[in-house]
Amino acid sequence: MSLGLEKSHRLFQGIIPSLLSTCAKDGTPNITYISQVTYVDATHVAVSCQFFNKTKRNLLENPQAMVELWDPVTFEGYRMELRYVRSETAGPLFDSMAHRIDVIASHTGMAGVFKLKSADVCEVLGFEKIEGFLYEGAAGAGAEAPAPESGPLNELRALSLVSSRLNRACDLDGLLKDALAALDEVFRFRHSMVLLLEEARGTLVAIASHGYGESGVGAEVPMGAGLIGTVAERRVLLRLSGIDLSLRYGRAIREGVEREAGHPALRPEVPLPGLPDAEAQLALPLLVEDRLLGVLALESRNPLAFTDWHEDFLQVLANQIAVGIDRLTEPEDEETVAPAAAPAAAPVRGRGHSFVFYKADDCVFVDGEYLVRYVPGRILWKLLTEYRNAGRREFTNRELRLDPSLGLPSVKDNLESRLILLKKRLEQKCPDVRIVPVRRGRFALEVAGAVELSERETA
Amino acid sequence: MERIRGELPRILEGLTAIAVGTRDAALRPACVQAVGLTAEPTGRLTVFVPEATGERTFVNLAANGAVAVVAEKILTHRTVQVKGRCVEVRPAREAEREIVERCMGAFFDDAVVAGAPRGILQRKNRWPCRAVTLEVAEVYEQTPGPRAGEPFVAGGTR
């Protein structure tokens, strides 16, 4: 007979920590709050073991346990009678639980200090709602979350909608913009971003964002740092809910480590990118074959915004987005000769701007304010210099690829994503200078007003 | 140990997520959320367990008296566990209701910050209760971290 566990996934995303009660062989009870109870299958759960403690010793000598969980929506209580079966220290279950703990450890500056020792798998012998947990008549009144509109038809419609948008995209900027907008329309995921990998620097750079206003684009996340960096490094999907509580858990451990004499030097906390008050995050690797292109990251203020269903479904979409990115960043066939000075749209009169290029770190400032750096900075400087010296207004991607001064890698140069970043930074900081696509592999530099260029060694 | 027992009121101050662990004759563990506690410098601790959810706990305590109590502040995860023998289980008195309401009010405040809706939390069954008094024999640090599980040190900073 089914215990009904498979229909109770949200219990494992609790806002209130769960209780675990065990008993030593001599009859002494032990009770503790635990950070993770993970659904394994219809008759098994796993509890996380970060420290070899009394609970673990008890389970080894008396495998009986009881867990109490709070439903994060109705706040009803549930109890599970458990029998400890085994500890896993490798494999998919261990990895999945370890990744979540690693993300919290990374955010709280304790990567490598606090980590999963084992996933302790327990058979569920009994599972019941606790009668009388809430006052009579109060249970669930007005508390049920609206049922998500899911089902094969809705899933297929959503997939069809997003898929056709992705297929229609003719440039990378359009692809990412449409993909993130479709996620909002179809799933109401209001806050999302795509970060692409810059392999040479081991960094992910936000190249498109939705729901953050102007902020977000250009933000960088080192490989292995926080949720997004961990997803990129491990190439696995990760979901965090109850982020606030998880971070508090990590900080509690950090304080304990810091109090210890001779504790290892801890890294500073990694600020979460995006919403300052996000309660749930989901990040998916963008993979084509065995190549990591980047990460699709979504977040919400609702701790239960992402469900198991979303994980599976969004992975399909992430794969489509990855294929689209790969298609649109392949070097295209185009004429090999750079065009002469070609008139683009008539320039609009704007105020003049002063650009400074700092050679030491390939950094460009406009009117005294930081604009862009690294490869996008070098590209901008090349465009502006040729515009000033020769009046050029149209450029091809191919000529940029062939220019050794830009330092683009010979394969997988991410040129399109660097141009998007440059375009968006200009839109934000200096809208009088614009990069406008002409056709695939060709773009125009539109400049309104005079530009003054100067180069310096260092700031 | 005597000194630690005397420090119980200070050690447990502000810890409002409370639960009681017991076991039966077959060493099967049981747990239940408690809704309030009061600690005496004599080393006695009284926890309040709702009648509606505490049946198995009351049966176990009547049978063998072995008990553990965990208390945590969920916003900081500061956690303490005490173990001992149950010396009395009795209906909570009306005058003790204030202890329960104060403790649950503070717990609700923390839970709301953690993301729980106050309106639903308020429906948590917390009265009538039984008062479970135990003679504390052991006190453990249980805040997550390297010292979790170690006996509490008398005169500590917490």
Chain B CB within 8 Å of residue A142 CB: yes
Is the Cβ pair A19, B33 closer than 8 Å? yes
| A99-103, A120-124, A390-394: least confidently modelled range | A99-103
Are A100 and A156 part of one and the same domain? no
CA B79 → CA A34, A332, B30, B87, distances in Å?
11, 61, 19, 24
> What is the per-residue pLDDT for A142?
43
Distant-in-sequence, close-in-space partners of A220: CB < 8 Å, separation ≥ 6: A203, A204, A205, A206
> Which domain does B13 fall in, by range?
2-141
Binding-face residues of A in 160-219 toward B, CB within 8 A: none
Rounded Cα distance, A193 and A195, in Å: 7
Instruction: For chain B, give the mean pLDDT.
Output: 92
> What is the per-residue pLDDT for A146?
42
**Is B150 domain-assigned?**
no
State the total domains in chain B: 1
**Is B149 domain-assigned?**
no
**Is A137 domain-assigned?**
no
pLDDT exceeds 60 at position A338: no
**Is A338 domain-assigned?**
no
**Is A199 domain-assigned?**
yes
Q: Pick from B21, B115, B125: which is nearest to A29 by CB?
A: B21
Are A109 and A191 part of one and the same domain? no
In this prediction, residues A149-167 reach a mean pLDDT of 69
Q: In what order do the strands lie in the sheet with A394-396?
A: A394-396, A442-447, A433-439
3-class state of residue A355 by DSSP: strand
Chain B CB within 8 Å of residue A303 CB: yes
Is the Cβ pair A64, B76 closer than 8 Å? no
Domain final residue pick, A313, A329, A345: A329
pLDDT exceeds 90 at position B93: yes
Are A300 and A249 part of one and the same domain? yes
Give the distance from residue B102's alpha carbon to the nearest chain A alpha carbon, in angstroms.
18
pLDDT exceeds 70 at position A318: yes
Tens-digit pLDDT profile for residues A223-248? 888 888 889 998 988 888 777 667 77
Are A97 and A185 part of one and the same domain? no
Percent of chain A topping pLDDT 70: 85
pLDDT exceeds 80 at position A382: yes
pLDDT exceeds 90 at position A449: no
Read off the DSSP letter of residue A8: -
In this prediction, residues A327-341 reach a mean pLDDT of 60
Are A205 and A310 part of one and the same domain? yes
Closest chain B residue to the Cα of A143, Cα to Cα:
B120
In this prediction, residues A48-65 reach a mean pLDDT of 91
> What is the per-residue pLDDT for A53?
84
> Which domain does A379 fall in, by range?
353-456
3-class state of residue B145 by DSSP: coil
Is the Cβ pair B74, A65 closer than 8 Å? no
CATH of residue A15's domain is 2.30.110.10
Model confidence at A50, pLDDT cuts 50, 70, 90, reads confident
**Is A264 domain-assigned?**
no
With contact defined as beta carbons under 8 Å apart, do A253 and A48 qualify? no
In this prediction, residues A415-438 reach a mean pLDDT of 88
Domain final residue pick, A129, A162, A192: A129
> What is the per-residue pLDDT for B46?
98
CATH of residue A425's domain is 1.10.10.10
pLDDT exceeds 60 at position B158: no
**Is A59 domain-assigned?**
yes
pTM (global) more than 0.90:
no
What is the ipTM, given to two decimal places?
0.96
CATH of residue B110's domain is 2.30.110.10
State the total domains in chain A: 3
Are A162 and A282 part of one and the same domain? yes
Instruction: For chain A, give the mean pLDDT.
Output: 83
> What is the per-residue pLDDT for A7?
78
In this prediction, residues A404-423 reach a mean pLDDT of 83
**Is B83 domain-assigned?**
yes
Closest chain A residue to the Cα of B22, Cα to Cα:
A29
Chain A CB within 8 Å of residue B115 CB: yes
| A139-153, A267-281, A296-310, B123-137: least confidently modelled range | A139-153
**Is A57 domain-assigned?**
yes
Chain A residues touching B64 at Cβ < 8 A = 27
Please indicate whether residue B84 or residue A247 has the higher confidence score (pLDDT): B84
Q: How many CB atoms lie within 10 A of CB B4?
A: 19
> What is the per-residue pLDDT for A328?
82
Interface test with A, best of B16, B24, B27 (most A CBs within 10 A): B27
Chain A residues touching B83 at Cβ < 8 A = 28-30
